[in-house]
Amino acid sequence: MNTIMMFSDTIAHVTVAIRGSPVNQTEYESENEVVLITNPAANRGQAAKVGREVLAILEARGVKVRHEIPASPAGTRLAAEQVANSGGRLIACGGDGLIHLVAQEIAGSAATLGVIPAGSGNDFASALGLSSDLNRALQAALSPAGQVDVLQLESESGRRAIGVTIATAGFSAKVNVRADNMRWPKGSSRYTIATLRELLNLERYELELRVDGTEIGGVCLMVAIANTHSFGGGMKIAPAADSTDGVAEIVIVRDTRALTLLRMLPKTFNGSHVDHPAIELFRGSDIELGLRPLNSEMACQLRSDGEDVGSLPQTVTVTSAGLHVAGCL
């Protein structure tokens, strides 16, 4: 499972040194079992080590825990579905791809999600202010839950999905797809190369967008529908996005030269790109998105949380308070 780790040369590492203050378990005294799900492939295998650390700490503190290391996305969803049915607590140890998978099952349920940010990109955790320090992350994961919004995505064929961070199409999605299909190099440099390749053949799209009944058209390079502010391991594509306000931020990058886009990309890490004249911003909760390449008949893919959620057109609906997340009150 990959996040949209575009353009970033720095991989986020989870702090696994825990020999300071112990995890404070006073926040979580339930006799119910905690389910810990680890994605062992996240962050080039580093999440597996973090998962073992988490398990050892929880057991040492007397927390009743079952550790799941699913062999497939289907296995991950099955484990999450069981937690959703019980209304229990699921602690996800991995990156945004793992959060995306478990959210498909627990969104809309009474289950609580705890997050141990252990992926190469942890944009969901970052947006919610959840620490990458293991000791603090565990304290948060065992704490009472707040509620955050989710994106309900549905294609014309009836395919449905949940998004927790950003749904995007166009240039950003093509970089994501190209990077996912590359066997070499490994790490963030793969996304840098994918970005440069897509810039060499920068595709334009005819936009068909409706936001709360308002129609928006024209030519663009990409669209991002943001529940949270960042993707790609810290790119603040929608700096004003707030996952508790009941609306999504819609960011449109209008047609511009490849060199202009290349110069704009570094500014996304502090959000200052929104001042560029090629950027248009909208807000809404009921969104219909269509995107058609100007020079081909191929359908555009929508990516959410870095994952394929089907072809456009799609409807995107913000569901307020759709997910219970520990430690983000």
Q: What CATH number has the domain bearing residue 219?
A: 2.60.200.40
Complete DSSP assignment for 255-307: S--HHHHHHHGGGGGTTGGGGSTTEEEEEESEEEEEEEETT--PPPEEEETTE
Lowest model confidence (mean pLDDT) among 18-27, 217-226, 259-268 = 18-27
In this structure, are 161 and 308 located in the same domain? yes
Is 211 found in the same domain as 133? no
Residues 121, 178, single domain; the answer is no
18 assigned to some structural domain: no
**Which residue range forms the structural domain that includes residue 225?**
154-321
CATH of the domain at 91: 3.40.50.10330
Residues 160 and 224 in one domain: yes
pLDDT band at 72 (very low <50, low <70, confident <90, very high): very high
Of 116, 148, 180, the one marking the end of a domain is: 148
Q: Same domain, yes or no, for 164 and 304?
A: yes
Q: Decide if 16 is inside a domain.
A: no
Q: Would you say residue 327 lies in a domain? A: no
Please state the rounded mean pLDDT for residues 147-155: 98
Cα 64 → chain centroid: 28
The structure tokens 């009921």 sit at: 286
Q: Is the omega angle on the peptide bond into residue 277 within 30 degrees of 0, that is, cis?
A: no
87 and 190 share one domain: no
Q: How far apart are the first and last CA of the chain?
A: 28
Domain count, the chain: 2
Q: Report the chain's mean pLDDT, rounded to a whole number.
A: 90
What is the average pLDDT across 156-160? Answer: 95
Spatial separation of the C-alpha atoms in residues 218 and 221, rounded to whole Å: 10
Confirm whether pTM is higher than 0.85: yes
